[in-house]
Structure 1
């Protein structure tokens, strides 16, 4: 057999797969389906090793389930709208569409070289009118259902990207794209009422048994459901009420000050009465330069008292000061909180800094006195109420309901449920995105574009400067339009949609990607959905994965899908690093897939990313590891000749049974590791052991074809990992059909179980003999066999056994009392 020529062989099979449409698929009623999906990539221009790992992981699932007889959908497309294309247009004087199209073409070829089993007939790019037309259709349907609204809001603004960012797109005050410091601005924005589905998004977690607990926990925290009260504090001498939200009404009697967000309307409404208003106004401006995340996570809490006004604690009838502090967010609750420094660390630190009284209202049930405590540390555990008038002595665990009912009867508050989750801000003041299909008319107000006029196309004559308002405003052919209701002159909306809209429903479009009359055919989507296995980064836990779940529920409520959750199982893959650092262009530590594939082949690149670490864990790049995988591929290649070489040795039944036992054990291990455990590295390791067993086996071609059967099994088991190699060997073995569609091997449990096994017996660290036991014998049965063995029993005579350790199938260790 000639040397393994990866370049020639990989091209050969990629061409054959394409020519024979091996991986194209369609609905087959009555046949079990399997929808495997890896998060669609942004067409940045080049694949990196993280891509190779992600798509190889997805391909293992897809190929395995195809071989088990399922009807597999494994598509690929492009998340093609976004800021980088627009930035490239500004920098390089190239239209975003052209830049994107070039990048897609290059990355498509790179993926094909990897031999991923995609159905390329399903491909689409989200930047085409054929796709974003349906973004606009969904927008209008949500508008009709009251899920879309427009309002002036305080938003995150990136001065570098010149666009609005959602809270999730700001990290530590920095833009998620360019790392610039963000600012706070008040702008007219479009929102989707994702909050209407907050409860259902939480309840849906019960169905997601195949999701990582970490992702569910992150989503739960992000949605942030909390039970509490809205309580009104009168602003003394003004007739105004200040509503606060609290989850601890049981501590109401200990509230010694109020804190409002810098954006709270009371500051402007009462500026004539706030004697230090100029100082406050300066602080408000400074706070506007910080993101919400930066404000809430900052350890050093800053604030300023609103001099000239006070609030009245309704429980005790006493005046308390009002402060503004940027750690209170306008978008959470009412934008105002009551502070109870005796029982909250943040409030206590703030109170000590500004010399505010501390009143203890909860004391440990082990303590008997209830005196006011000014300088003591905070107490945050459960206990009994003190300094709370008629409620003294009540357990704090019971006080929530008791005091809540009292507050409601006194008519200065009510119970409410609050969420951290805020409505989804989708407005973006840039060009390369889906135009929002709304028209502003002076007579009719804001009205949707008629469905028959969709898609609203991106204009070709927009100017890209990177400064000022949306580029769409520069196109007069786009902006000026007739009102569809009254026919008078009107203006188009010039905001475009957040690109997370594009990726919130793309999985459904794959099911029917060439439909010109609807977003998709419901029958086709209901055949394929939900996605059986989704693969993607954990960084999308609180953006894409929440948005997609929400969008799917809206589609269900529109009657076009029937399930409630889009993704049945989720695997969040680990990063690819080099010497412990995540690969990135800025760090100059990128390993090019093209170079690895050219030298070692696509199968080697795939095999290394799958073998070097479990899929969920970080993978540190290693050229030694790559070369080791290359050597293993060549070992499999050379086995072809070895297995088919005549030998002078004849196999005994024991020889045959031993190699068959290893084979069946390996089939079981690989099957379970792929299908249930997602441990591809251990699956590959077990095949390596089987290959080693074949190399030490001496009876090839003289054992009734058993070694050939074992080699055939090696090829079948390695097909999801190294498909080109396996197709070539399979062909040389004389099989007519593709190994990619050949049935997955089954294992025989009875063959795996050894009828008997020889066990060494150690007594006090010394080998004293060996016994033959059944593989199924219990510890007590093994003890009886040892006691009957004369050679071993003599070492036990007259001694007490301190420890008896039986490692099933391996060894018996006995420790005797001294």
Structure 2
């Protein structure tokens, strides 16, 4: 088989075992584009991570067995949907040959100081029992578990996002051929802040305008507690006033200070974003959260409590900083790429030798009474001093795996890869997968492993399919249920329109419609119902229109099985030609809902004028083929029409 140079692919799925309509929309768009271009789809499985591990624990089986079974089931569903996939290029992130390259990338980044091990405040998901990155926190809750996160002081591995690097990333985002909505979200999330720095005190603040409160911002919980002489929460201090935004977590009232001859309340916090306060004067002692150990406690105490902070006597210097935090890639769970480092009391933490990769996942026995798979430390001799040491027990965030996987489609050696030509996925990944991919590819470019900066040349954002989901609260936690599976007790059930997902139990099984209407009807409807970048509510009553159209096409060709000769009837050739041009333009611009409408219009003309010209009919079938491959192949086989 000749090597395929042009690659159009979609975001790979987590192998949950079943496809739902959201998957069908994503991969049907991909398949239609590929069939029109005469190329094949690529497919892979995002097999690592919390969903797979939690699912395996619920089934009392190892994650490896569950993933293997689910992949087998989903592959059959992909085949049933008629997706033309190159299965010999299939990717599985939990395959040791794959995560060997993930570990290779980690080691290269660690060696070049783009990854470091540090101790700072982390977001801890109490339900999933692991740290999360800031991007995985939605309204104070874990993006998967829905549980409220807490902050704790932990040792983790981070991708180092330097100021100069982030400035370069923003420039790349602006120049990329990506949808403006995605570019805007990524730039806003990085959060460029222009302000002033007081060099001698290592303080950064974003304005010198009149203000009504003074806030010192830290990213170190231990230091905050040391600095707070009066550990009273904000609610207790100003419970009867409305000029301040009230919060409970890590905001401490320190006292009052005279600034610009005004008596202002002083607060200490770990939160950088202070838009909630009423005209605050924000100072960050870490100057973009990265100043860590140089600043002494005494300096701040003198500044805040003894000298009173007179802004007229301090030298200001302009500075640009960024709100985004270094990416926390550590996870305290079993099912993930093992972090290839060794921890030694004498030699510290260092990476494994490249020749020893991959560091394999340990085999474990499940404890039926535990809600987590526990992994014992692997004790080894230190490579440097030969003393007893141990392998790192943390695993990599699954987004680290998915940040580069598409490079594997081109070649096993990622140094010979190139950016994807077309990439398809949902907007909800704009500050997760899509931003992480951009960061990792940019770093790989800087350390000369790849020769490009943008991971994807063209990005197609698809809207989500919405469906009603149902849930109830138990001990303050949302419990999602199917409509038919209501709790036995009389509990209040809430109804909400959300994206189809397995976690919310509102996905729809495609086989229900495949059995009734056929695969081609479902493919056509999913494209016809809305523009690909728009959300829509699933409505099974409208699918019947596509089913009737397909039957009319089949009946039309069945009645003309003896027409295969050039026979010219009078019809308006210019109308047909104009429709053909519109159809080609729709394919080119990915306007598939209009495309289906144009194909239906073309068919009406063919039927109305009883056209029997081979060239015209074959062009119609060629236009229809990417959307309805089974129908066109059936016409071809039964009525001997050559495509």
Larger radius of gyration between Structure 1 and Structure 2 = 1
Q: Distance in 2 between matches of 1:588 and 1:530?
A: 35
Partner of 1:103: 70
1:554 paired to 2:443: yes
How has the CA–CA distance of structure 1 residues 521 and 345 changed in structure 2, closer, same or farther, with 3 Å as cutoff? closer
8 Å contact 1:219–1:546 — kept in the other structure? yes
1:536 paired to 2:425: yes
2:204 to 224, 245, 249: 245
Partner of 1:501: 400
- SS in structure 2 opposite 1:569? strand
8 Å contact 2:174–2:183 — kept in the other structure? no
After superposition, give the CA deviation of every residue in 1:528-559 in whole Å (9 maximum; x if it has no partner). x3212111010100011111011111222232
After superposition, give the CA deviation of every residue in 1:471-506 in whole Å (9 maximum; x if it has no partner). 22x2x5xx2011112222111111100000010001
Q: Distance in 2 between matches of 1:140 and 1:651?
A: 69
Partner of 1:697: 609
Partner of 1:347: 278
Partner of 2:301: none
1:259 paired to 2:231: no
Q: CA deviation at 1:638?
A: 1.6
Q: Distance in 2 between matches of 1:608 and 1:25?
A: 34
8 Å contact 2:257–2:266 — kept in the other structure? no
Question: How many residue pairs get matched?
Answer: 575
After superposition, give the CA deviation of every residue in 1:600-639 in whole Å (9 maximum; x if it has no partner). 2211111110111111112332333222212111111122
How has the CA–CA distance of structure 1 residues 698 and 432 changed in structure 2, closer, same or farther, with 3 Å as cutoff? closer
Partner of 1:575: 464
Partner of 2:266: 323
1:208 paired to 2:176: yes
Q: What pairs up with 1:657-696 in 2 under 5 angstroms?
A: 658=572, 660-676=573-589, 678-696=590-608
Partner of 1:447: 350
1:75 paired to 2:42: yes
Q: CA deviation at 1:596?
A: 1.5
Q: Distance in 2 between matches of 1:465 and 1:283?
A: 45
Q: CA deviation at 1:594?
A: 1.5
Partner of 2:374: 471
1:599 paired to 2:516: yes
Q: Distance in 2 between matches of 1:91 and 1:577?
A: 27
1:121 to 84, 88, 91: 88
Q: Give the TM-score taking structure 1 as reference length.
A: 0.66
- SS in structure 2 opposite 1:185? strand
Q: What pairs up with 1:219-230 in 2 under 5 angstroms?
A: 219-230=186-197
Q: Distance in 2 between matches of 1:591 and 1:345?
A: 40
Q: Give the TM-score taking structure 2 as reference length.
A: 0.82
Runs of 4+ in 1 over 6 A off after TM superposition: 281-284, 465-470
Q: Distance in 2 between matches of 1:502 and 1:445?
A: 26
Q: Distance in 1 between matches of 2:35 and 2:355?
A: 42
8 Å contact 2:137–2:143 — kept in the other structure? yes
8 Å contact 2:235–2:246 — kept in the other structure? no
How has the CA–CA distance of structure 1 residues 25 and 167 changed in structure 2, closer, same or farther, with 3 Å as cutoff? farther
Unaligned runs of 5+ in 2: 238-243, 282-310, 469-496
CA-based RMSD: 3.1
Partner of 1:590: 507
Unaligned runs of 5+ in 1: 1-23, 28-32, 67-71, 233-240, 285-297, 338-343, 352-406, 701-705, 740-818
Q: CA deviation at 1:593?
A: 0.8
Q: CA deviation at 1:664?
A: 1.6
1:522 to 404, 411, 415: 415
How has the CA–CA distance of structure 1 residues 588 and 509 changed in structure 2, closer, same or farther, with 3 Å as cutoff? closer
- SS in structure 2 opposite 1:606? helix
- SS in structure 2 opposite 1:130? helix
- SS in structure 2 opposite 1:156? strand
1:190 paired to 2:177: no
Q: CA deviation at 1:142?
A: 0.5
Q: Distance in 2 between matches of 1:559 and 1:586?
A: 40
- SS in structure 2 opposite 1:203? helix
How has the CA–CA distance of structure 1 residues 325 and 594 changed in structure 2, closer, same or farther, with 3 Å as cutoff? farther
1:37 paired to 2:5: no
Q: Distance in 2 between matches of 1:167 and 1:410?
A: 37
Partner of 2:112: 145
8 Å contact 2:245–2:276 — kept in the other structure? no
How has the CA–CA distance of structure 1 residues 73 and 566 changed in structure 2, closer, same or farther, with 3 Å as cutoff? farther
Partner of 1:461: 364
Q: Distance in 2 between matches of 1:26 and 1:674?
A: 24
How has the CA–CA distance of structure 1 residues 556 and 568 changed in structure 2, closer, same or farther, with 3 Å as cutoff? same
8 Å contact 2:53–2:335 — kept in the other structure? yes
- SS in structure 2 opposite 1:194? coil
Partner of 1:5: none
1:488 to 371, 382, 387: 387
Q: What pairs up with 1:3-22 in 2 under 5 angstroms?
A: none
2:629 to 706, 723, 746: 723
1:417 to 310, 316, 320: 320
How has the CA–CA distance of structure 1 residues 598 and 453 changed in structure 2, closer, same or farther, with 3 Å as cutoff? same
Q: Distance in 2 between matches of 1:168 and 1:466?
A: 32
Answer with 585-594 or 725-734: which moved more. 585-594
Q: Distance in 2 between matches of 1:468 and 1:731?
A: 55
Partner of 1:175: 142
After superposition, give the CA deviation of every residue in 1:34-85 in whole Å (9 maximum; x if it has no partner). 210100000011100110010001111111112xxxxx35210000001122
Q: Distance in 1 between matches of 2:252 and 2:131?
A: 29
Q: Distance in 1 between matches of 2:20 and 2:221?
A: 46
- SS in structure 2 opposite 1:34? coil
Partner of 1:15: none
How has the CA–CA distance of structure 1 residues 128 and 282 changed in structure 2, closer, same or farther, with 3 Å as cutoff? farther
8 Å contact 2:234–2:247 — kept in the other structure? no
Q: CA deviation at 1:470?
A: 7.5
